[in-house]
Structure 1
Amino acid sequence: MQMNPIEPTDSTTLQYVHWFRHSAPYINAHRGKTFVLMFDGEAVQHENFQHIIHDIALLHSLGIRLILVHGARPQINQNLKASQLQTPFHNHRRITTRESLGAVMSASGSIRLQIEALLSMGLANSPMYGARIDVVSGNLITAKPYGIRDGIDFQLSGEVRSVDTDAIQRHLNSQNIVLLGPTGYSTTGEVFNLLAEEVATKTAISLKADKLIFLGKQHGLLNEHGQLQREVAPHQLDRHILQYQDSNPDIALHLQGAKTASLQGVHRVHLISYAYDGALVEELFTRDGSGTMITDAHYEEVRTANIQDVGGLISLLRPLEEEGILVYRSRERLENEIDQFAVIERDGTILACAALYPIPTAEGELRSAEIACVAVHPSYRKSNRGSQILHYLEEKARALGIQQLFILTTRTAHWFLEQGFEQASVDELPNARQALYNYQRSSIVCKKPL
Structure 2
Amino acid sequence: MNNSDQNYVKWFRNAAPYINAHRGKTVVLMFGGEAVLHPNFANIIHDISLLRSLGVKLVIVHGARPQIEDRIAGRGIERHIENNIRITDAETLVAVKDATGSLRLHIEALLTTGLVNSPMHGSQIRVSTGNFVIAKPMGVRDGIDYKYTGSVRRVDAAGINMQLDYGSIVLLSPIGYSPTGEVFNLALEDVATQTAIALKADKLIALTEDDGLIDEDGQLIRSCSVRTVKTLLDEKDCHVRQLLLRSIIQSGENGVERCHCVSYQSDTALLQELFTRDGAGTLIAKDHKEQVAVATIDDVAGILELIQPLEEEGVLVKRSRELLEVEIDRFTVIKKEDVIIACAALYPYPEAHSGEVACVVIHPDYRNGNRGERLIAAIEAKAKQLGLTNVFVLTTVSGHWFIEQGFVEQSIDKLPESKKQMYNFQRKSKIFIKQL
Q: Which TM bucket (shorter chain)?
A: 0.7 to 0.9
Answer yes or no: is 1:390 the counterpart of 2:376: yes
**TM-aligned CA distance change 1:77 to 1:9, over 3 Å:** closer
**TM-aligned CA distance change 1:7 to 1:160, over 3 Å:** closer
Distance (whole Å) between structure 2 residues aligned to residue 443 and residue 46 of structure 1? 55
**TM-aligned CA distance change 1:208 to 1:316, over 3 Å:** closer
CA contact (8 A) 1:87 1:97 kept: no
Cross-structure match for 1:306: 296
1:336 to 326, 329, 336: 326
Q: 1:237 aligns to what SS in structure 2?
A: helix
Cross-structure match for 1:369: 355
Across the aligned residues of Structure 1 and Structure 2, the Cα RMSD in angstroms comes to 3.0
Cα deviation per residue 1:377-413 (whole Å; 9 max; x = unaligned)?
A: 2333332111111212223333x34232322313334
Cα deviation per residue 1:249-304 (whole Å; 9 max; x = unaligned)?
A: 32321221222223333333333332333433344444554444444473311112
Cross-structure match for 1:261: 251
Distance (whole Å) between structure 2 residues aligned to residue 52 and residue 290 of structure 1? 14
**TM-aligned CA distance change 1:70 to 1:15, over 3 Å:** same
2:260 to 241, 249, 270: 270
Query: What one-letter code is carried by the residue in structure 2 that aligns with 1:382?
Result: N
The answer to which of 330-339 and 307-316 deviates more is 307-316
Distance (whole Å) between structure 2 residues aligned to residue 89 and residue 9 of structure 1? 53
Distance (whole Å) between structure 1 residues aligned to residue 255 and residue 350 of structure 2? 45
Answer yes or no: is 1:58 the counterpart of 2:27: no
Q: 2:151 aligns to what SS in structure 1?
A: strand
CA contact (8 A) 1:406 1:448 kept: yes
Answer yes or no: is 1:202 the counterpart of 2:194: yes
Distance (whole Å) between structure 2 residues aligned to residue 13 and residue 293 of structure 1? 25
CA contact (8 A) 1:421 1:447 kept: yes
The answer to which of 274-283 and 33-42 deviates more is 274-283
Distance (whole Å) between structure 1 residues aligned to residue 75 and residue 4 of structure 2? 59
Normalising by structure 2, we get a TM-score of 0.87
Normalising by structure 1, we get a TM-score of 0.85
CA contact (8 A) 1:163 1:206 kept: yes
CA contact (8 A) 1:410 1:441 kept: no
Structure 1 residue 369: Cα displacement? 3.3
Distance (whole Å) between structure 1 residues aligned to residue 199 and residue 344 of structure 2? 39
1:21 to 16, 19, 22: 16
Cα deviation per residue 1:24-69 (whole Å; 9 max; x = unaligned)?
A: 5314xx32x4322211112112232222212222222233332211
1:408 to 393, 397, 408: 393
Cross-structure match for 2:7: 12
Cα deviation per residue 1:351-385 (whole Å; 9 max; x = unaligned)?
A: 21111233343xxx64x433322222233333211
Cross-structure match for 2:223: 230
Q: 1:156 aligns to what SS in structure 2?
A: coil
Query: What one-letter code is carried by the residue in structure 2 that aligns with 1:389?
Result: L
Kindly report structure 1 stretches of 4+ aligned residues shifted beyond 6 Å: 6-9
**TM-aligned CA distance change 1:327 to 1:9, over 3 Å:** farther
**TM-aligned CA distance change 1:440 to 1:125, over 3 Å:** farther
Trace 1:103-122 onto structure 2 (pairs within 5 A).
Answer: 103-122=95-114
Query: What one-letter code is carried by the residue in structure 1 that aligns with 2:252?
Result: S
1:71 to 41, 53, 63: 63
Answer yes or no: is 1:320 the counterpart of 2:315: no
Distance (whole Å) between structure 1 residues aligned to residue 406 and residue 237 of structure 2? 37
Cross-structure match for 2:178: 186
1:99 to 91, 98, 109: 91
Answer yes or no: is 1:379 the counterpart of 2:365: yes
CA contact (8 A) 1:26 1:285 kept: no
**TM-aligned CA distance change 1:427 to 1:48, over 3 Å:** farther
Distance (whole Å) between structure 1 residues aligned to residue 288 and residue 74 of structure 2? 50
Query: What one-letter code is carried by the residue in structure 2 that aligns with 1:19?
Result: N
Cross-structure match for 1:346: 336
Cross-structure match for 1:150: 142
Cα deviation per residue 1:326-350 (whole Å; 9 max; x = unaligned)?
A: 3332211101111221111335643
Answer yes or no: is 1:358 the counterpart of 2:355: no
**TM-aligned CA distance change 1:422 to 1:288, over 3 Å:** farther
Cross-structure match for 1:3: none
Distance (whole Å) between structure 2 residues aligned to residue 442 and residue 127 of structure 1? 52
Cross-structure match for 2:407: 421
Query: What one-letter code is carried by the residue in structure 1 that aligns with 2:246?
Result: Q
